[in-house]
C-alpha cells in the first residue's frame, strides 16, 4: 500500500525499476535465505477487499482493533504498488556459527 504520505510515487515517476529483497536469518543455526525480485513497479487502484485480506495477515482478524492508520474505509487516497518481476533469484547465504553462538 502506498499513498500521498509516501515518497514512492515521486520515485517511480523518475524510474519505475525496483529491487525487492526478502531474507531470513537464524543466528543460532547460521541459516540465511534470500529471495530477490527485480522488475518494474506498477501503481494500481485501491481495492478495499484486497487491502483487508493483506492487512489481516499482519494486524489480526478484528478490524475494529486495528490502529486508525489502517482503517480500510479511510484509505481513499491509497494505492497498491505491485512489483512485476522480470528476474527472480533465491540464494542460500548460510554460514557455520561459532561455538559460542556469535557470528563474528
Query: Domain ranges in the chain?
Result: 8-92
Give the closest residue to 44 by CA, choosing from 93, 8, 89. 8
CA dist 67 and 11 (Å) reads 27
Q: What is the pLDDT of residues 58-104, one digit of tens each?
A: 999 999 999 988 899 888 889 999 999 999 999 999 999 987 756 55
Share of the chain above pLDDT 90, in %: 71
CA dist 74 and 79 (Å) reads 12
Degrees (nearest 5) of the Cα angle 49, 35, 80? 25
Specify whether the CB–CB gap between 83 and 41 falls below 8 A.
yes
| Neighbouring C-alpha atoms within 13 Å toward the C-beta of 11 | 12
Specify whether the CB–CB gap between 91 and 34 falls below 8 A.
yes
Query: Whole-model pTM?
Result: 0.71
Residue 37: strand pairing partners: 20, 88
Amino acid at each position: 500500500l502506498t499513498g500521498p504520505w509516501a515518497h514512492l510515487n515521486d520515485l517511480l515517476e523518475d524510474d519505475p525499476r525496483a529491487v525487492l529483497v526478502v531474507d531470513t536469518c537464524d543466528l543460532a543455526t547460521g541459516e540465511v535465505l534470500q529471495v530477490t525480485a527485480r522488475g518494474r513497479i506498477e501503481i494500481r487502484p485501491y481495492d478495499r477487499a484486497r487491502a483487508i485480506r493483506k492487512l489481516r495477515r499482519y494486524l489480526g482478524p478484528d478490524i475494529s482493533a486495528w490502529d486508525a492508520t489502517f482503517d480500510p474505509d479511510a484509505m481513499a487516497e491509497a494505492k497498491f504498488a505491485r512489483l512485476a518481476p522480470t528476474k527472480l533469484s533465491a540464494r542460500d547465504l548460510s554460514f557455520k556459527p561459532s561455538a559460542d553462538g556469535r557470528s563474528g
